[in-house]
Amino acid sequence: MKAKLTFLGTGTSSGVPMLGCSCPVCVSKDPRDKRLRASAYVEYGGLSILVDCGPDFRQQALRSGIDHIDGILLTHNHMDHTGGLDDTRALNLCEGHPMNIYCERYVEDSLKKTYAYAFAEPRYPGAPEWRIHRIDDKPFRLYSNAGDERIVWEKGFGYRHLPGNGDACPDSVEIVPIQGWHLKDRSLSVLGYRFGNIAYLTDMNLIEESEYDKLRGLDAVTLNCVKVGPHRSHFSLQECLDFFEKVGAARSYITHLSHLLPCHEEFDRMLPPDVHPAYDGLVLDF
């Protein structure tokens, strides 16, 4: 099964341009050098899937015309990947369903602290309606939200929760998580995800040898790089290129880029023919 992936954002945690910076990348007029925080929108098996929901999510969704999401996959708990989750309240109201969020247990625990109001009882009227699905590095199924319970807004009360369509047989797809680490000491887990012929990985500094079997036969793969040289929590450019060569995908894309890398056009010329810097709005559909 083939997937279609749209890069909603390809920037690092500060975005590009970075506030207060006047370097050549930050003042570039090339729209491909304007990078919102890293996120992707995947259309797969008839389902609409968001990978990470950072602080630029509202702007990204409006720009790309996103009005439906079956599930959100979180890679890890950093705010540049979770800071836009409150904006999913609008989809709660318009679609009439809770938002399904898939993440590791430590990410769920982090969300309960950062967004305590979304989990508090009694419910605050209008707070985000989320359903957390705990995952790990094992394959799992992500289901359409068509059969989920319905939520109906009642003025002066908040959401009324009504049963879903019990007779519905919602579509589902298999998602294959890729275990990575943000730090080489393995203290911060990060999950990448494979959607059929495309794999999306970001914010990693270490990938176990055992995970490479999950990455065979891809049409496209992504990986993070914020600077040419070594970095404490991200791959260097050479490490990134070594990863792409080892995986052997037909096409490879670098994401989570910072202003420490060259402008898009110059950077693209530096790379092997089958490797490219991603940019906001780029669509992978093979």
Local confidence band at 170 (pLDDT 50, 70, 90 cut-offs): confident
Q: What is the pLDDT of residue 131?
A: 97
Phi, psi for residue 76 in degrees, rounded to 5: -165, -170
In the DSSP assignment, the letter for residue 199 is E
Structure tokens at 142: 């992500």
54-71 per-position pLDDT tens digit? 999 999 999 999 999 999
- What number is the average pLDDT over the span 144-170? 87
Contacts of 18 (CB under 8 A, 6+ apart): 26, 258, 259
Q: What percent of the chain has pLDDT over 70?
A: 99
pTM: 0.97
- What number is the average pLDDT over the span 229-234? 96
- What number is the average pLDDT over the span 90-101? 96
As a whole number, the mean pLDDT across the chain is: 96
**Largest Cα–Cα separation, the chain:** 59
Local confidence band at 166 (pLDDT 50, 70, 90 cut-offs): low
Report the range of poorest mean pLDDT among 103-107, 122-126, 186-190: 122-126
Local confidence band at 121 (pLDDT 50, 70, 90 cut-offs): very high
Q: What is the pLDDT of residue 164?
A: 85
- Do you know the residue count of the chain? 286
Separation CA 213–CA 193 (nearest Å): 13
With b for 16 or more beta-carbon neighbours within 10 A and e for fewer, the 228-239 pattern comes to eeebebbbbbeb
Phi, psi for residue 55 in degrees, rounded to 5: -65, -10
- What number is the average pLDDT over the span 101-128? 96
182-197 per-position pLDDT tens digit? 999 999 999 999 999 9
Separation CA 21–CA 98 (nearest Å): 40
